[in-house]
């Protein structure tokens, strides 16, 4: 569930207490209506066995939990799972699996290798448009993030000019999307066909939890940023990829926001982040 923030806020950011006109908060409030947020089920409150609008949790490394969010439901990623157990579970996803407690360097865990990812349903976007992007996250440290992957649909002409690519289907009955590397989502290598979606844009929104003040370790943090889909990228839709890896442990995601803003609004956000400097990299403490 989304927490409303005041327009003028006193925020502790990476150890620096700043009092400023909270432009980001104003934009958040302006985009709080369901019709403004382009992300389906942004707070993970809807669904029965699977959260509506998101790929299915495997219940080994990804869990949809009633108390996993800031308030209410959220997603929990457990990256402290041996990779061999995770791979075995992928091959037999309906079989019951019990996690083995890890030890040693933990480089052979999912967190030390492939990482853990969840994808949103495709989100249509407009060319040459600006978008505000935000999310809440907490974890043991490290740098969890969300990839914003932009795609265009393959035509006959594009297929004829393309070589072999890596594809996966985030949703069983949906189209295939290309990836930049093999990872964790049931990929296949093949030439594209008409109707496939080809990645043309990738942007990472990282929260550097390790740079948060010691007194705020383990707290929820909110990250804000903006993105511009320049015409040259020809992006038609995006997939949001929630991702966590190192250090191995439990990471939580909630309140995903993506909404269109004007270029002027986007520039104000960029200017504010520039003023914050490195402090902007670890986001702001949620609800404090």
Residue 38, SS3 per DSSP: coil
* pLDDT level of residue 23 (50, 70, 90 thresholds): very low
Distance between CA atoms of 79 and 94, rounded to whole angstroms? 20
* pLDDT level of residue 220 (50, 70, 90 thresholds): very high
Angle at alpha carbon of residue 146, lines to 141 and 147, rounded to 5°:
135
Q: For helices 23-30 and 263-276, what crossing angle results, to 10°?
A: 140
**Which whole number is the average pLDDT over 271-281?**
93
Residue 225, SS3 per DSSP: strand
Instruction: Determine the pLDDT at residue 16.
Output: 38
* pLDDT level of residue 185 (50, 70, 90 thresholds): low
* pLDDT level of residue 183 (50, 70, 90 thresholds): low
Closest among 252, 270, 253 to 261, alpha carbons compared = 270
The CATH class given to the 8-285 domain equals mainly beta
Would the pLDDT of 26 be above 90?
no
CB atoms within 10 A of CB 268: 17
Residue 251, SS3 per DSSP: strand
- 60 contacts: CB under 8 Å, gap ≥ 6: 78, 81, 85, 86, 89, 97, 99
Token reading at 126: 């407009």
- Taking the CA atoms of residue 274, residue 275, residue 278 and residue 280 in that order, the dihedral angle to the nearest 10 degrees is -80
Would the pLDDT of 22 be above 60?
no
Instruction: Determine the pLDDT at residue 14.
Output: 45
Would the pLDDT of 28 be above 70?
no
Instruction: Determine the pLDDT at residue 143.
Output: 96
pTM of the model as a whole? 0.88
Instruction: Determine the pLDDT at residue 75.
Output: 98
pLDDT tens by residue, 32-51: 444 699 999 999 999 999 99
- 155 contacts: CB under 8 Å, gap ≥ 6: 194
């Amino acid at each position: 569930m989304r927490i409303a923030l005041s327009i003028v806020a006193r925020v502790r950011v990476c150890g620096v207490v700043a009092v400023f006109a909270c432009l980001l908060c104003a934009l958040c409030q302006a985009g709080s209506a369901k019709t403004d947020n382009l992300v389906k089920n942004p707070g993970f409150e809807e669904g029965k066995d699977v959260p509506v609008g998101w790929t299915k949790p495997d219940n080994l490394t990804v869990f949809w939990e009633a108390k996993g969010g800031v308030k209410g439901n959220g997603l929990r990623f457990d990256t402290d799972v041996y990779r061999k157990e995770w791979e075995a579970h992928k091959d037999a996803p309906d079989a019951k699996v019990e996690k083995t407690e890890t030890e040693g360097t933990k480089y052979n865990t999912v967190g030390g290798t492939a990482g853990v990812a969840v994808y949103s349903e495709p989100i249509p976007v407009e060319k040459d448009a600006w978008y505000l992007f935000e999310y809440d996250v907490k974890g043991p440290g490290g740098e969890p993030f969300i990839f914003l992957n932009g795609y265009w649909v393959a035509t006959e002409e594009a297929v004829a000019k393309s070589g072999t690519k890596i594809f996966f289907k985030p949703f069983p009955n949906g189209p295939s999307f290309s990836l930049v590397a093999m990872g964790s989502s049931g990929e296949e290598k093949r030439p594209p066909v008409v109707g496939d979606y080809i990645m043309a844009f990738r942007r990472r929104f990282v929260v550097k939890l390790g740079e948060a003040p010691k007194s705020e370790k383990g707290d929820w943090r909110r990250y804000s940023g903006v993105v511009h889909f320049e015409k040259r990228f020809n992006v038609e839709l995006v997939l949001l990829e929630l991702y966590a890896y190192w250090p191995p442990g439990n990471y939580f995601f909630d309140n995903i926001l993506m909404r269109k803003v004007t270029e002027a609004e986007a520039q104000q956000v960029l200017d504010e982040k520039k003023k914050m400097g490195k402090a902007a990299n670890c986001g702001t403490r949620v609800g404090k």
